[in-house]
Chain A
Amino acid sequence: MLLYAAIILMMLGLYGILTQRNIIKIIISLNILEIGLNIFIISIGFVNGGVAPIFTGQNNLGSIGFVDPLPQALVLTAIVIGVGTTALGLALAKKIYAKYGTFEIDDMKGAE
């Protein structure tokens, strides 16, 4: 179920990037795409009825399944990178606004 939600989010993000003509909306679509991907990665490591992958006296008996910890570590890295990209995109959006006075790509005069 989580998998389908993730794929729907990714498709929404991709649709937004392809159709929107507003800088801020494109950045938001990019974020939706990233979040969809992150949920997708998390869902890969999901185990039904699993517990957090931490060794304690209670749950290292072997009878309880751990969820896969690696996708969670990957997502942590991917989130950080996503934040960096978003910050850079917003900084560029500010520069674009200072230069053209608008966020709409179609209204920008002299831009190629």
Chain B
Amino acid sequence: MSAVLLIAIPILAAFISIIVKKWSPYMLLFVSFGLVILLGYLPFEIITIGGFSAPYGISLVVDNYSYTALYVVNVLFFLVAIINVCNYKKLGTILLVSLAGLNGLMLTGDLFNLFVFLEISGISAYIITTTNKKPLATFNYLVAGTVGSILYLLGLIILYNMFGTLNMQDMAVRIAASGATDIEVALPFLLMFIGIGVEAKLLPFNSWVKGILGHSNKLTGPMIAGVYAAASLFVFGRLLTEVFVISDTFMLIISVILAFSILAGEAMAYSSTKVREILLFSSIAQAGIAVLIFVSGFTGYAVLFISLNGFSKVVLFLIINHATEVVGSDEVIDLKGLFVNNKLVGASFTATVLSLLGLPLFAGFFVKMGILSQLFSSGDYVFPAIILLSSVVEGVYFVKLLTKLWYKEDNLPQVKFELPLVYLVVVISLLLVVFGLYFEPLHEQALVLVNHVKGVIL
């Protein structure tokens, strides 16, 4: 099976679903499930589109990195789609387009093509977020996203003018061969960094996040905080490891942005009294940590971190947004005692939060431990300090939240969770526990990814 089908099938299905509107939800389920199955038959290769060889034509790259990314994004997308398909039947077409855009983002090996897919997935994300019924927040998201992708395009064009290519690998080779100084390439890289940073929720560029995720529903919360966040971070990893030359000046700017992003995100989550805001600020900090690991050069652990984070965020946002829809408020006080009558859901929520914190016996522990030991052994003490500090703050507010949600009192919120949702969150949290005890496969995958990236660079 060719990787082109991962983009072509959802687009084709989207066109058909415009003609036959009634089919669109079933088509969405069928296509997204089919793609997860088809991924198993995907060979590792570099596909050139239209018969033009690599630097001239657009190439799609299927390697270890994009394969893992595709699996994570497609599985997450399918899970979010299957929970929501009955409630948002009108969105079938848009979700199909966004699936095509996300797959394209993971696959493409061409910088301009990346911009096109960024816009396709971005525009579908704006339309998905209109289901929040907060048009002003969506408008802010649209303006921020559009300005971000314009800055990305500007940086890209400057790079094209300097080196005469748009292919990622060719670009890396030519930058190394041309002997361009750090200062010369720092400007276009910074512009592109800002462009993707808007989608990845890094701090100075993420004014849209509060409006979107703070009022999110069962579809937009998991979709934007889980699927889109994972996809944009994977794109970041691709650019940071394969294209960007990280010089001292550029590194300093990025480090300040990331440290600010992590610490301020955790601080805002700590001071927030709404559950959805706690989750969204915590996901800003997590995005910062993921990019930080990429910048430090530990691709394997970064990929594991993003994947676990994506699954965890889907579970947390599904549970909280369902409860919020029933209760009508997302204040911690109004949701007090939520899990007293829903012990199974509560246990999954707790396990996921503990994995996110990186406590032993959960999958998050292995990843965080690996990252920290790698960072320490590379002789860096600032980044581990930031990560440890953020973990402590995270621990305080999440444990505070958990005790409130488990707290027994007379006036309990009456929330019933549907069976598919319960089943999904229980399975994901069980997997987090299983991989926490039996982490050999994760370890192997991390090593494979590290070797792969070394192979490309050398």
Contacts and interface: CB of A to CB of B under 8 A. Distances in A.
Contact of A41 (B143, B146, B157, B211): B157
Contacts of A17: 143, 147
A105 B211 CA distance: 14
Interface stretch (B16-24, B77-85, B129-137, B308-316): B129-137
* Interface size grouping (class) on chain B: 20 to 34
A111 B136 contact: yes
A2 interface: no
Interface string A1-45: 000000000100010010000010010001001100100110010
A96 B211 CA distance: 14
Nearest to B113: A77
Contacts of B250: none
Given A40-B154, A81-B116, A93 B139 contact: yes
B146 A96 contact: no
Interface residues of A, number: 32
Interface in A75-110: 77-78, 81, 84-85, 88-89, 92-93, 95-96, 99-100, 105, 108
Nearest to B138: A92
B142 interface: yes
A12 to B, nearest CB: 14
Given A44-B157, A112-B137, A37 B130 contact: no
Contact of B139 (A23, A33, A41): A23
A65 interface: no
Contacts of B373: none
B112 A34 contact: no
Given A37-B154, A40-B154, A112-B211, A89 B161 contact: no
Given A92-B138, A96-B139, A112-B137, A78 B126 contact: no
A34 B139 contact: no
Main SS of chain B's interface residues? helix
Contacts of A47: none
Interface in B144-178: 146-147, 150, 153-154, 157, 160-161, 166
Given A34-B150, A44-B161, A96-B136, A88 B142 contact: yes
A37 B150 contact: yes
B334 interface: no
Given A30-B147, A40-B154, A95 B160 contact: no
A88 B123 contact: yes
Given A77-B116, A96-B136, A85 B147 contact: no
B63 interface: no
B135 A84 contact: no
B39 interface: no
B276 to A, nearest CB: 13
A7 to B, nearest CB: 10
Given A92-B130, A96-B135, A108-B136, A84 B123 contact: yes
B266 to A, nearest CB: 22
B119 interface: yes
A99 B157 contact: no
B46 interface: no
B345 to A, nearest CB: 29
A111 B135 CA distance: 10
Contacts of B119: 81, 84-85
Contacts of A30: 143, 146-147
B127 interface: yes
A85 B147 CA distance: 11
Q: Which of B142, B143, B150, B160 has the most CB of A within 10 A?
A: B150
Q: What are the 7 A-B residue pairs with the smallest beta carbon separation, nearest first?
A: A95-B135, A96-B135, A81-B119, A92-B139, A44-B161, A111-B136, A85-B146
